[in-house]
């Protein structure tokens, strides 16, 4: 079966049907159980209200504190674009990995020291770099490195989309997850790859996403994942709130020989594709729309949970007993 055949089959199999519709209804019920609506947390109070401070930006008594990070490294133009997009809205602190940490996922450095350095960004502003992962950068901030907390964490603008299954690899999304673990609202923003990325559209999107999160708040465990299509600012077709789609990876194992004749392996191949199912982040981006996807840290498989309860969990007899 060729790659084309496989993609065509996957597309056929992905056609929405009633089973899928039922599954979605089930998910909606679960969502009701699991989380509260985004807005209005302050009135309800209690542990579910993550940000009692969520309110219109004009009503903040001081400017919100915003932490900006990424996984492409402190020298990335996407990081600078995100910082510049948000600095009109709050007090921005930039701390990012000193090298490209793409696809490190949620890696946390525990077995060696971390070094933090002051850096000057291309616009002359002060930033900090850390010789670790995006999660390390966010951890430093929430463990008191700057002497204060934050109202929002923004990660990106990543060079390349983070759609569907990508978020399990993504250092960008993991940085936002680390913020959510620390009870701080967060979003990740990624620019679909193209030869000469123009981050101006993504920067405007970041401003809108940040304003919405600051004004409405997020509940515990929630974050927002944003993907911007590779189109010029006058070609995009609006914003769509989506669910995670399904990536189709086309990785190939490339075997070569090092100068000493010893084989080594490299994960290569063309960039990933995906299943263009309506309602998903992948479908939105291929149709020139900005995909805004809510993410929850509760990865519990609800349907599997029900099935597991029906399995036989008896242990084998103790051979020493």
Footprint (CB under 5 A) of Mn ion, residues 112-171: 158
Tokens linked to 74 = 């402190």
Distance CA 67, CA 64 (A): 10
- Please report how close the Cβ of residue 190 comes to Mn ion at its closest, in angstroms: 8
Pick the closer one to Mn ion by CB: 107 or 287.
107
- Please report how close the Cβ of residue 133 comes to Mn ion at its closest, in angstroms: 12
Pick the closer one to Mn ion by CB: 90 or 156.
156
Please report which helix (H) or strand (E) contains residue 254, including its range.
strand 252-257
- Please report how close the Cβ of residue 189 comes to Mn ion at its closest, in angstroms: 11
Q: Does 71 bind Mn ion (CB under 5 A)?
A: yes
Pick the closer one to Mn ion by CB: 158 or 293.
158
Distance CA 166, CA 247 (A): 7
Tell me the window of 72-80, 140-148, 266-274, 277-285 that interacts with Mn ion (CB under 5 A): 72-80
> How many residues belong to the site for Mn ion (CB under 5 A)?
4
Q: How far is CA 141 from CA 78, 136, 186, 190, 276, in A?
A: 20, 9, 14, 22, 38
Beta-bridge mates of residue 263: 257
- Please report how close the Cβ of residue 281 comes to Mn ion at its closest, in angstroms: 17
- Please report how close the Cβ of residue 142 comes to Mn ion at its closest, in angstroms: 21
Residue in 161, 211, 239 with CA at minimum distance from that of residue 57: 211
Footprint (CB under 5 A) of Mn ion, residues 91-110: 102
Distance CA 205, CA 116 (A): 30
Tokens linked to 57 = 């930006």
Pick the closer one to Mn ion by CB: 55 or 119.
119
For residue 243, give the DSSP letter: B
Three-state secondary-structure class, residue 154: strand
In the complex, which residues of this chain contact Mn ion (CB under 5 A)? 71-72, 102, 158
């Amino acid at each position: 079966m060729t790659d084309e055949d496989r993609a065509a089959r996957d597309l056929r199999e992905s056609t929405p049907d009633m089973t899928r519709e039922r599954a979605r209804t089930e998910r909606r019920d679960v969502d009701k159980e699991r989380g509260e609506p985004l807005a209005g947390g302050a009135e309800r109070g209690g542990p579910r209200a993550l940000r009692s401070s969520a309110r219109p930006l004009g009503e903040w008594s001081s400017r919100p504190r915003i932490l900006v990070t990424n996984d492409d490294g402190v020298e990335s133009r996407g990081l600078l674009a995100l910082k510049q997009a948000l600095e009109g809205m709050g007090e921005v602190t930039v701390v990012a990995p000193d090298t490209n940490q793409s696809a490190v996922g949620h890696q946390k450095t525990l077995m060696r020291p971390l070094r933090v350095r002051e850096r000057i960004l291309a616009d002359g502003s002060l930033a900090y770099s850390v010789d670790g992962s995006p999660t390390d950068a966010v951890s430093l901030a929430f463990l008191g490195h700057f002497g204060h907390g934050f109202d929002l964490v923004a990660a990106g603008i990543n060079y390349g989309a983070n759609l569907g299954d990508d978020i399990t690899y993504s250092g960008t999304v993991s940085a936002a997850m680390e913020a959510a673990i620390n009870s701080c609202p967060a979003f990740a923003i990624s620019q679909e790859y193209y030869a000469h990325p123009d981050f101006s559209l993504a920067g405007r999107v970041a401003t809108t996403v940040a304003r919405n999160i600051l004004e409405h708040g997020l509940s515990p465990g929630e974050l927002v994942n944003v993907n911007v299509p590779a189109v010029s600012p006058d070609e995009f077709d609006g914003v769509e709130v989506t669910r995670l789609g399904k990536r189709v990876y086309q990785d190939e194992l490339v075997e070569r020989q090092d100068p000493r004749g010893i084989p080594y392996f490299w994960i290569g191949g063309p960039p990933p594709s995906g299943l263009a199912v309506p309602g998903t982040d992948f479908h939105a981006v291929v149709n020139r729309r900005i995909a805004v996807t809510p993410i929850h840290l509760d990865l519990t498989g609800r349907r599997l949970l029900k099935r597991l309860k029906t399995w036989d969990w008896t242990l084998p007899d103790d051979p020493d007993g």
